[in-house]
Structure 1
Amino acid sequence: MPGNQILIVDDEIGIRELLSEILQEEGYSVRLAENANEARKQRNQHRPDLVLLDIWMPDTDGITLLKEWGNNGQLTMPVVMMSGHATVDTAVEATRIGAVDFLEKPIALQKLLATVQKALRPSVAQLRPELNLSSLGKGQVILDLKKQLERVLPLKTPVLLVGESGVGFEACAHFFTGPGQQFIAPENVEKALDAPSELLQQATNGVLFLREIGKLAPRSQQGLMQVLGKLEKHNVRLVMATSRPPADVLQDRTFDQGLFALIANLQVALPPLRTHREDVPELAVQLLRQQVEQKRVASVKFDIAALNALRNHDWPGNLEQLQNIVASLAATAGSEDISAQDVNRLLAPYVVKNTLGAADALDLPLREARDIFERHYFEHHIKLENGNMSRVAEKVGLERTHLYRKLKQLGIRFSRRGSAE
């Protein structure tokens, strides 16, 4: 609808200007980008309602940029691809990745306007995944996380989010963004910190989110120090994240200890997905629904056993791994129902890879090492016996009442009727 902001990405200035003129005459607000780098900046800084994206560009092509946005959770707006030389396969690939439509050049006036209007309809725009805490889950663990974030929200101190890779750093960082505020999250943090003044200018009166600051090179650390010194001047709220344990950063001689003291005053720990497994089934259904509604895959759904199998997995890659697994299951589904067998087949390599080894156990306190081993041990037998607790008890040599107490102690969910949960 008129008033929406549209980003046009095309390396040909004539096409950019022509489309811009047409859309502005219709009342749309238009921004232009001649390449992928400029498109990234415009997308992060201005959050367009729609992107018209050319496929063939000299540095990074449109398909690659579309994939990048999708993989990084940044495909939060409808994207219409444009090309004068694309094949049917290219158009299908773009749609599978997440494009909502395709325009063939030369673009007819009525076709352009109809496509833009269609892409901006609520039925299409509502398909955009929102980055907020509900995308991490709705259980007690996430509610507790929300309370922590609410306590630090009024403070102006830079916030450091700490947790394992893939736990949802950006979703939490968005929590600090108020109505109308811009959210700047550079993909290449080190490159962005090479120009701290430009970065601050982009983030003025908004939120600046910097990923993996615990791995910054010395030169980038200097840039971050400059950013810290000018946050108040530019009215910028700084939120950072690291999957590297703070203790490891402190022991790293290449990391400026004075800088770390400045950025680590206010830390919020993000929980790994395995600590709130009860959220996994609903998250998986939500992620699959997005795949289907965006027409990336055919209409499929999880059966109960499949959701159960997903919930019982350890998820070492956390939410990011769950997103990838759901996408793979949706793309390779052989029928309308995704089964537990489908899930277990796909997760099998991860289960083997992440089983605790003797060398790992030697580095842990005895009680923690024993608990991890026992959890793997009982989960293995529950899965092996398809959740039949009578057979599990017989296999491990425990009375059922003793087995139930043990599973409850280890935080393993199960059903006394026989099916593991």
Structure 2
Amino acid sequence: MSKSQYYLEAILATEDDAITVINAKMEVIFWNDAAVKTYNIAQSEILHKPIETFFHNDDLMVLKVLQTKENVKNMYHQPRKDTHVVINASPIFNDKNELIGAVSIERDITKMVKLNDNLVHTSTELNELRQKLMTNNEDTPFSTLKGSSPALKQTIQIANKTAKTQATTLILGESGTGKEICARAIHEASLKSDGPFIPINCGAIPSALFESELFGYEGGSFTGADKNGKAGKIEMADGGTIFLDEVGELPLDMQVKLLHVLQENVVYRIGDSIGKKIDVRFLAATNQDLEQLMKEKKFRNDLFYRLNVVQITMPPLRNRLSDIQELASFFLNQFAVKYQVARPELNTDAYQLLLDYYWPGNVRELRNVMERIIILSESSVIQKHDLLRFFQQNIPEADDVSKSIETKKRPRQMDHLEKRLIEETLIEMNGNKSACARKLGISRMTLYHKMEKYGL
């Protein structure tokens, strides 16, 4: 053996990565010490023997390279159940460009993979513990409705009473007030809490699918129907509760069928003339004026009175101002845990801005704002002038201002709030309009328009 071969042998033996060289007959002709440690196979056992004797063909990247004659670079590979490697492999050609073998260099990353798995598992457990710590005071299902304002307390008191009965209940309220959360709490506090809770958004179902979704169908009852048939949502709720959200969106012909189910406690699938007896608690919700819909002949009077045995109204957030700080704190904690980041604090002036805002989107909008703060904020303390940009529904163009403030629904108090913010930011920036615009997250032109509008 020449000196250069000795040098090469020493270099390959010193390498920490597992190195394997096979010839064209798939026999191992080189197996360094790192390969011995990685696979626990001694050189005396494997050298000059077919490599597939020790590994399954599917687990051998070096064989694939021998077959394809193509290089492999930085590929994750698991040659054995308990071994993870990153592999580089190349075919070997002689001076006549004849394939004579292949070489693979494999870096053992098994410990890193296991550490990462342990880290993920530990992080999951930690998050679960954090969630338990956050919710360990939640003694009743209605604890999911956060707040202690008189308006919310009155709603919970009515809901808690009706939960113990079988009474059909109609939950009214603006979008985002928590109607479905209230419905779930009623179910969980009821005698049917062990049964299913089946929510269905009547406003999200295409008209053509209403009947099959709500009532189900028998096999072969129409083209494309499952040959075994399918249970509808009402049948799926047997023994539990069905929640009809946006019930005002029900087509009139479906209202007739629903009324029949409420009266007879029998559901008929499409194509079924016998029917099935069911035991289902009905809860319904809407943000529409059902009495106005009845006047317009868009909602049946008899169905309304069937649904409206007990009526619960979820108060809008603007009538629950004393709950805003508790809700904001709860959502900040919740999303800090979810995204595994430190929770920023809102200072007193920032909380005052939350109290001044009209909240057309109610609790859902507040929740979204708090999530946006957790995701986007880089500050440990949120000042009121920082807060305005988190009301944006979308990332703004250069000349946009927060869309929630520009919406026609906002009251005049928001104009006053915006004017005050601009005044105070101008003072803070010593009258520098460019700096003021940057601080507010708007363009200078938009700032000039606002100043002209407010007479500044």
TM-score grouping bracket, smaller chain normalisation: 0.5 to 0.7
Whether 2:221 is the aligned partner of 1:221: answer no
More displaced, 224-233 or 247-256?
224-233
Report how far residue 159 of structure 1 moved: 0.3
| One-letter amino acid matched to 2:246 | E
Tell me, yes or no, if structure 1 residue 142 matches structure 2 residue 152: yes
What is aligned with 1:126? 132
1:277 to 297, 321, 324: 321
Structure 2 Cα separation of the partners of residues 124 and 198 of structure 1: 38
Q: How far is the alpha carbon of 1:312 from its aligned partner?
A: 1.7
What is aligned with 1:210? 244
Structure 1 residue 117 displacement after superposition:
12
Partner deviation per Cα, 1:141-173 (whole Å, 9 max, x = no partner): 211111222343344221000110110001211
Distance 1:162 1:202, change over 3 A: same
Greater CA drift, 289-298 or 182-191: 182-191
Asked if 1 retains the 8 angstrom alpha-carbon contact of 2:172 and 2:311, the reply is: yes
Q: 1:200 to 1:143 in 2, by over 3 A?
A: same
1:284-337 CA-to-partner distances (Å, cap 9, x unmatched) read 111011111122545433222222211221100101111111111221102122
C-alpha distance in structure 2 between counterparts of 1:301 and 1:341, whole Å: 14
CA distance in 2, matches of 1:195, 1:307: 49
Distance 2:416 2:236 in 1: 52
CA distance in 1, matches of 2:122, 2:261: 39
Query: 1:384 and 1:124, CA in 2 relative to 1: closer, same or farther beyond 3 A?
Result: closer
Q: 1:377 to 1:337 in 2, by over 3 A?
A: closer
Residue pairs, 1:32-181, within 5 angstroms = 115=121, 123=129, 126=132, 132-176=142-186, 177-178=188-189, 180-181=193-194
1:258 aligns with 2:292: no
Higher percent of residues as strand: 2
Task: Give 1:322's aligned amino acid.
Answer: L
> What are the superposed Cα offsets for residues 75-122 of structure 1, whole Å, 9 maximum, x if unpaired?
xxxxxxxxxxxxxxxxxxxxxxxxxxxxxxxx99xx79x959965995
Q: Are 2:371 and 1:317 aligned?
A: no
Q: Does the aligned pair in 2 maintain the 1:133–1:146 contact within 8 Å?
A: no
Provide the C-alpha distance between the structure 1 equivalents of 2:151 and 2:407, rounded to a whole number of angstroms.
27
**Is the CA contact (8 Å cut-off) linking 1:231 and 1:238 kept in structure 2?**
no
Shift of 1:123: 1.0
Q: Which runs of 5+ in 1 are unaligned?
A: 1-106, 357-371, 387-421
Q: What is the SS of the residue equivalent to 2:284?
A: strand
> In structure 1, what is the Cα distance between the partners aligned to 2:318 and 2:333?
22
Q: Is the 8 A contact 1:167 1:319 kept in 2?
A: yes
User: Cα RMSD over matched residues?
Assistant: 3.7
User: Which residue does 1:402 correspond to in 2?
Assistant: none
Q: Could you state the TM-score of these two structures normalised by the residue count of structure 1?
A: 0.53
Residue in structure 2 matched with residue 186 of structure 1 by the alignment: 199
Tell me which amino acid in the other structure corresponds to 1:168: G
Aligned to 1:349: 403
Measure, in 1, the Cα distance between the counterparts of 2:177 and 2:283. Answer: 15
Give the conservation status (yes or no) of the 8 Å contact 2:201–2:244.
no
**Residues paired across the two proteins, number:** 262
Q: Residue 152 of structure 1 aligns to which amino acid in structure 2?
A: T
Aligned: 1:235 with 2:269:
no
Gaps of 5+ in 2: 1-112, 218-230, 267-276, 392-401, 425-456
Provide the C-alpha distance between the structure 1 equivalents of 2:200 and 2:386, rounded to a whole number of angstroms: 34
Contact 2:173 2:315 in 1 (8 A): yes
